[in-house]
Amino acid sequence: MKIKVKAKEKDGIVKVKMLVKHPMETGRRKDAQGVLIKVNHLTEVKVEHQGNVLFHGEFGMAVSKNPFMAFAYKGAKGDKLSISSVDNLGLTGQADVTVK
């Protein structure tokens, strides 16, 4: 899965915005033939900086399609962040970004 990230520093605060491309199927929706669409949602999103976890989210079926997340931390330009995500089918996503 694709993860888009923007991280910008201003006055010592880094704002991180993320968008994970994911269908986030609840498992309760039916397709045109009336068959249930298999459940498929993110279970975990994690942002790390040098081994420290900055952001950790455990997601379920109540989260929207292509979820958008944002958080802020005290940091500096040039911080290298690593973002990872896992869904209930075991598929993973990974993105690296340098704070601007």
Q: Does residue 49 touch other proteins according to CB under 8 A?
A: no
Binding test (CB under 8 A) with other proteins, winner from 1, 9, 19, 86: 19
Question: What amino acid occupies position 80?
Answer: K
Q: Does residue 25 touch other proteins according to CB under 8 A?
A: no
Spatial neighbors of 11 by CB under 8 A, at least 6 apart, are none
The CA angle 22-27-31, to the nearest 5 degrees, is: 90
**Is the distance from CB of 94 to CB of 3 less than 8 angstroms?**
yes
Report strand pairing: 68-74 vs 13-20.
Answer: antiparallel
**Is the distance from CB of 82 to CB of 7 less than 8 angstroms?**
no
Q: Does residue 21 touch other proteins according to CB under 8 A?
A: yes
Which CB sits closer to other proteins, 68 or 89?
A: 68
Q: Select the span of 17-25, 33-41, 42-50, 87-95 touching other proteins (CB under 8 A).
A: 17-25
Min dist CB 51 to other proteins, Å, is: 27
Point out which residues bind other proteins (CB under 8 A).
2, 4, 6, 8, 17, 19, 21, 66, 68
